Structure 1
């Protein structure tokens, strides 16, 4: 069984790696250090981890290549990437394959601790659409990429689900009968200020989108969209300092 408090820190810079490890240990985590991707893979073969925090740019295997190998050894492993460089294509690949979030250096240790805690909470992405086929198709795409995701089909069910079990990110249609996306967003944010809400719409008027963002909505995607585009929005929401 994977330790719920064991974190693997992977960074080729010894000072950065030691600082990360020391701060995470102060938060009560058991930390294992690896100086590169090869050592991270060896560590994953020997013990189970709840989360991996890995730099992207490293000699040998980069962070995304390391992530892929770690997922082969421990399927479903939660991985957070760190980077100080604009390696957008590489980062896009990682997010599209299920990286939990990307943190850009420099960052505060408080911000890092909040993201680690959020990631380890293993809360699902909740997809809300009054068309079940649409909701289930999105959920299937997210699950295929390794994300935990669930579907409900109206705003009332979304709010009830958020009350029963904490939700990480909620993806909801703006135009729904009974309880629209704007009101659902407002109620979700009242339930927990940590829930990030992403809207999707094919025909909502601009004033509705404005009302959504003014009530704490994080982003709005225009239908139709690729699941990869949604995954990028989810990863950004998870790493945004305001969402932790």
Structure 2
């Protein structure tokens, strides 16, 4: 089965600029949606997960930084690029705090923008399934530091929804979850996305060891024990999916 085209969201109140970039991206095989303000962009994001969002910094009603924060909460796997004619250290810092990956100065260097979109789309997409929301957020920040894209889910039902939305290079699965367990999530991954690499996570070894043994016999790739060792986890994921080392910002 062929890979679906990457989904790109363009948000800018400059209609002509959006049309120009949208046409170029469409010719390159991307699927592109366009919005001219933040609320319209959020409405689109509720119906479709985007691989990359290209956001204007200054728009009426909702600026790009605020929009980036909303998009990050809705779908943390979206890589946000910020465009601004008001580039400064404060602007860049606010954008990074909101989860933006790169900031580009207007007028936009189209080849540079296309290169960054291509690079962002190529970043491995990882799903973290754990009911500890603080841990999920910490793992997201850790993995983003190595240019992984990261989605999160907190129970088996949410994990199933994420798996239906996108194809993942790797899935990290806590074995003890509300409303089910990690073994059921592992089997859902094997059923819906069999090429995804799977890492089992547990802090309850006596209780979860039988599930881990069974999942490993069914093809799970590795086990990590809580408290997680960040360098060890990064090294494991880079071995499994071949991520690139971090680049200078």
TM-score under structure 2 normalisation? 0.52
Q: 1:148 to 1:91 in 2, by over 3 A?
A: closer
The separation in 1 between residues aligned to 2:79 and 2:19, in whole angstroms, is 21
Q: 1:146 to 1:166 in 2, by over 3 A?
A: closer
Contact 2:38 2:67 survives alignment (8 Å) = yes
Q: In the alignment, does 2:41 pair up with 1:40?
A: yes
Contact 1:37 1:62 survives alignment (8 Å) = yes
Match of 1:28 in 2: 29
Q: 1:87 to 1:57 in 2, by over 3 A?
A: farther
The separation in 2 between residues aligned to 1:145 and 1:37, in whole angstroms, is 28
| Matched residue count | 151
Match of 2:196 in 1: none
Q: 1:104 to 1:31 in 2, by over 3 A?
A: same
Deviations 1:26-64 (A, max 9, x none): 111000000011110111012121110111011111001
Contact 1:98 1:145 survives alignment (8 Å) = no
Shift of 1:82: 0.8
Q: Alignment partner of 2:40: what SS?
A: helix
The separation in 1 between residues aligned to 2:100 and 2:78, in whole angstroms, is 9
Contact 2:85 2:106 survives alignment (8 Å) = yes
Shift of 1:168: 4.9
Q: 1:73 to 1:23 in 2, by over 3 A?
A: same
Contact 2:51 2:77 survives alignment (8 Å) = no
The separation in 1 between residues aligned to 2:39 and 2:73, in whole angstroms, is 14
Contact 1:98 1:146 survives alignment (8 Å) = no
Q: In the alignment, does 2:105 pair up with 1:108?
A: no
The correspondence of residues 109-124 of structure 1 with structure 2, limited to 5 A, is 109-123=110-124
The separation in 2 between residues aligned to 1:114 and 1:168, in whole angstroms, is 18
Contact 1:27 1:113 survives alignment (8 Å) = no
Residue segments in structure 2 that go unaligned for 5+ positions in a row: 126-136, 147-229
TM-score under structure 1 normalisation? 0.53
Shift of 1:95: 0.7
Deviations 1:73-124 (A, max 9, x none): 1123211111111353233122134211111122332211110000111159
Q: Alignment partner of 1:89: what SS?
A: helix
Structure 1 runs (4+) deviating above 3 angstroms are 140-146, 148-152
The separation in 2 between residues aligned to 1:72 and 1:4, in whole angstroms, is 23
Q: In the alignment, does 2:141 pair up with 1:144?
A: yes
The separation in 1 between residues aligned to 2:70 and 2:10, in whole angstroms, is 15
Match of 2:11 in 1: 10
Q: 1:87 to 1:110 in 2, by over 3 A?
A: same
Q: 1:53 to 1:146 in 2, by over 3 A?
A: farther
The separation in 1 between residues aligned to 2:141 and 2:243, in whole angstroms, is 22
Match of 1:208 in 2: none
Name the structure, 1 or 2, with higher relative contact order (CA <8 Å, separation 6+). 1
